[in-house]
Amino acid sequence: MSRLKDAFSGFEFKDGSFLSSRAKSKEEQERYGPHMKRLPKSTVPEYLTLTKYQKFCWKVMGPVVERRGVEDEQLKMNLLQAHMKIRVEEYIAYVWMTTIFAAIGGIIGAIALSLILSPILGILAYIVAVATLVFTPLATYFGLRYNPVSKANRRGKKIDDKLADAMSFIASMASANINIDMIFKELAKQPLYGEVCEEAKWITRDTEILGMDILNALDRASDRCPSDNFREFLQGVVTTSTSGGQLKPYFKSKMEEYQDERKLQVQQNMETLGMLAESFVTVVVAFPLFLVVIMAIMSLMGGMGGGNTIPFLYAVVGLMIPGSQAGFIFIIWLVNQD
């Protein structure tokens, strides 16, 4: 335990420079490393954690995947961008095994549907059974293959939602002459910034655990970032630093840019909500009311039999109005997910 040292005690900070080691001689350098690093809590991301089912899939299908030498660079990048803590080979084994189970379930479902529905639907029951047999494994395979892309897109949107606030934090830290690696290290401790904090954790891991310099870590982070805006920002940091530019003006300009974009997005969301409110009044409130009144008048005038009108009114009040309200609630939820 005497050789276990704090990761931050071996560094000093100088204005206008990156971290430099205090070790002066070769003997001191050998004494310092290799050694364990003790990082503050929540500054590095969690590592691979497979579920029991994924472990089972890898145990069964893993040898097949390794023997076939399956490589998919695009899937690897999608898994990194989605922060799905699983290797490409393990995920492919998971997809294949799940597809096999889905195919077995499709066969059982097709047989059950053909036996149950054939007396009712006739030949149509066999068409439904064949469609179930074919569609179930195909939908499972392509759904699992697209899942990392979908998660990466959601992460990118979450990063964009918090980017303006994170830029304010970064610009404030830079105005106090804090080095860029320490800025991202502190950003990694701020869960308030959501997925931006997660990206900062991976950057901190690259610098503190893997021994990369901050510029290479930022360049690597830009390659795996699912957000175009944050990727552009990281690439700008690397370009500005390597070209000898100043980062303070760059951080300030990006902060103002993202804040303006956020104001524009909020304004667009408000206009969309206003349009939805007008549509709600027209479709959900006014139209069913007019429909009920008109049908009641037509029934009194003898245009429709009272026995035929009452079930239709029940359908309007019991199905149409609640269904349209649920639809508008879902649309508003989609617009205001953040």
**Residues 6+ positions from 5 with CB-CB distance below 8 Å:** 32, 35, 38
What is the residue-averaged pLDDT of the chain? 80
Reference 102, options 131, 153, 151, 139; nearest CA is 139
For residue 135, give the amino acid letter.
Answer: F
- Percentage with pLDDT > 70 across the chain: 83
For residues 13 and 178, the answer to whether their CB atoms sit within 8 Å is no
**Residues 6+ positions from 303 with CB-CB distance below 8 Å:** none
Write the CA distances from 136 to 93, 129, 147, integer angstroms. 18, 11, 16
Strand ranges (DSSP E) for 191-337?
A: none
Distance from C-alpha of 10 to C-alpha of 17, rounded to nearest angstrom: 16
What is the model's pLDDT at position 72? 80
Q: What is the DSSP secondary-structure string of 160-183?
A: HHHHHHHHHHHHHHHHTT--HHHH
What is the model's pLDDT at position 333? 81
Q: Are strands 11-12 and 20-21 parallel, antiparallel or unpaired?
A: antiparallel
Residue 113 phi/psi, 5° resolution? Answer: -65, -40
Distance from C-alpha of 145 to C-alpha of 95, rounded to nearest angstrom: 7
pLDDT in tens, 244-268: 888 888 999 999 999 888 888 888 8
Question: CA triplet 328, 331, 335: central angle to 5 degrees?
Answer: 135
What is the model's pLDDT at position 9? 40
What is the model's pLDDT at position 7? 40
- Confidence grade of residue 152 (pLDDT, cut at 50, 70, 90): very high
Angle between helices 73-82 and 214-224 (to 10 degrees): 110
| 291 burial type by CB count under 10 A (0-12 exposed, 13-18 middle, 19+ buried) | middle
Distance from C-alpha of 330 to C-alpha of 318, rounded to nearest angstrom: 19
pLDDT in tens, 273-292: 888 888 888 888 888 888 88
Instruction: Say which residue, 186 or 27, is predicted with more confidence.
Output: 186
For residues 181 and 19, the answer to whether their CB atoms sit within 8 Å is yes
